[in-house]
Amino acid sequence: MSHLDILKTNLQKLQNAGNYIFARRVIRLAGANIWRNKFLSAATIAVIALILFSFNIILAINMLGDAVIEKLNGKVDIILYLNDDADLLAINNLINDLTELPEIKSAIYTSQEDALKGFVTRYGENGDPFTKYGLENTLPANIQIVTASPKDHKKILEFVKSVPEGSLFTNIEENTENKTIAEKLILVTGITKKIMWGIVSAFLIGGILIIVNSISLTLHSRKNEIAIMKLVGAKYTFIRLPFVIEGAVYGLLAVGISLILFQIFLGGIGLQSIENDYTLPLAAMGKIFLLETVISMGIGILSSQIAIHRYFHEKS
């Protein structure tokens, strides 16, 4: 290796060592800023964490409501009971007309024989009086309709009652219980979405204002040190970076605390599962927490930049 190569290698080592020392000093100053104003820092982090916690609770309720609605929408909503002598061709024409409606997800025909098989499957051989006592199968054939939304029930019922095949029906049964539950949940999720947008606005505006004020106070409390740094020729980057890191740490810690509170909340009320049927999509929540971390740290960095710009603009 030539002397020139050795010199380049040594210079690179010195540069790396200098970068390491620079980074360590910046991080240490950021930690000192947070610790020096520990009560103000704790209050800042707590307020942001509570805003995030409130948002996550409303979001979880909204997601759970959507999951319940989706499951209810997959259940049979309307049953059309058919005459024993109903013509199969007319039934097929009716099913084709029903499935062409955008409000209907599915329309399934069940014959008398299939209705009996379903009855036996549900209640067992002992619950089958037809076979046990040699009775005639009186269970009616039917068409089971699954709608896209509870709001479509009225329109579908009006359509069913107006079709020429209406003489095929002996009775029309509507699942009003699922409809009522789904309608109430749709109302609740609609309200929670509006609340979420309000909390997001409060988080963006309030978070920026809180962190800007917190870092501004830190800047003013360290004005003598900053003046000395400038006099001895410290770079602007070295003076600015500790406050930028401080803002990012505020956002990171706020998300961490909100996540802990959210987990405690879930464990306390059992929101993760309701009757083992409707579960909270934790994978989606994990992505949301990751996004919240990025946004919160971004807000912290942006707020610190605003505070730094204001401080040095006033001093210039």
Buried b (16+ CB within 10 A) or exposed e, 168-193: bbeeeebbeebbeebbebbeebeebe
Residue type, 284: A
pLDDT value at residue 254? 92
**Distance (Å, rounded) from C-alpha 31 to C-alpha 8?**
35
Asked if residue 113 has pLDDT above 70, the reply is yes
Predicted confidence band of residue 133 (pLDDT cuts 50, 70, 90): low
Average pLDDT over every residue of 213-234: 80
Q: Would you place residue 18 in the very low, low, confident or very high pLDDT band (cuts 50, 70, 90)?
A: low
pLDDT given for residue 229 in this prediction: 76
Instruction: State the average pLDDT over residues 177-190.
Output: 70
Whether the predicted model's global pTM rises above the 0.85 cut: no
**Rounded to whole angstroms, how far apart are CA atoms 203 and 250?**
13
Chain segment 190-201, per-residue pLDDT in tens: 788 888 888 888
Selecting from 3.40.50.1950, 1.10.490.10, 3.30.70.3040, 1.10.3720.10, what CATH number does the domain 76-174 have? 3.30.70.3040
pLDDT of residue 265: 81
Q: Domain residues of the chain, as ranges?
A: 28-70+182-315, 76-174
